[in-house]
Amino acid sequence: MRSSQLAPRRALAAHLESFGDGMKTQTKEIFRWIAIAAFGGFGVWAFIYGSYDVITRADGHWVGALVTLGFLGLFAIPFYLVAYICFRRQYRELFRVLGVVASIVVFSELFAIQRQLHVFDYFDRHLREMPWLCILGIPVSLVCLFGPFYAAQWVLRFCIRLAQRRTDKA
């Protein structure tokens, strides 16, 4: 083939390759805006739905209602943060939000497991029968008290380290 016949084919191949890159960029933008709408919308929905429920059932106890509204705001903040971070395109900051939320979940679940296992009830029931159990109870109590804090701190540090990792631009 002549070079004059190859030129249009090369131009068409280059155009098709750039068209695929444009589609990838458009797909990323679509997913970005879907994430912004989904997380922001869920945060707004959770706060408004919870606020409506709290306000309609307040029965004159406005201090308790305000405290509950404050906790609803704290519940909705991570969803607003994810939407804001996606809007600003600071995707590494998502690891920090994930770390805070995950550490709160780990902390609360570890305390809930202690209650479900009735660790302290066991020691209360058997302490009079077996006084030596107090020696074992002190380390177990310390682990139950400080363990959730250390686990939550470890999860938070792990997620912050993920945010600080370098990524190669391909």
Q: CA–CA separation, 142 vs 9, rounded Å?
A: 74
82 in Cβ contact with 94 (< 8 Å):
yes
For residues 142-158, one letter each, b for 16 or more C-beta atoms within 10 angstroms of the residue's C-beta and e for the rest, the string is eebeebbeeebeebbee
Residue range 73-100: average pLDDT?
Answer: 87
**Pick from 94-98, 101-105, 166-170: least confident:** 166-170
Q: Give the pLDDT of residue 150.
A: 93
Whether 58 shows a pLDDT value over 90: the answer reads: no
Q: What is the pTM of this model?
A: 0.63
Tell me the per-residue pLDDT of 106-163, one tens digit each, with 9 for 90 and over: 988 988 888 888 877 887 787 778 877 778 778 888 888 898 999 999 999 998 888 8
pLDDT at 118: 84
Give me the sign of the Cα torsion angle 79, 85, 88, 91.
Answer: negative
Is 50 exceeded by the pLDDT of residue 170?
Answer: no
The reported pLDDT for the residue numbered 21 is: 58
| 89 CB-near residues (< 8 Å, 6+ apart) | 32
Percent of the chain residues past pLDDT 70, beyond the cut: 84
Residue 15, pLDDT > 70, answer: no
83-96 residue pLDDT tens: 998 888 888 888 88
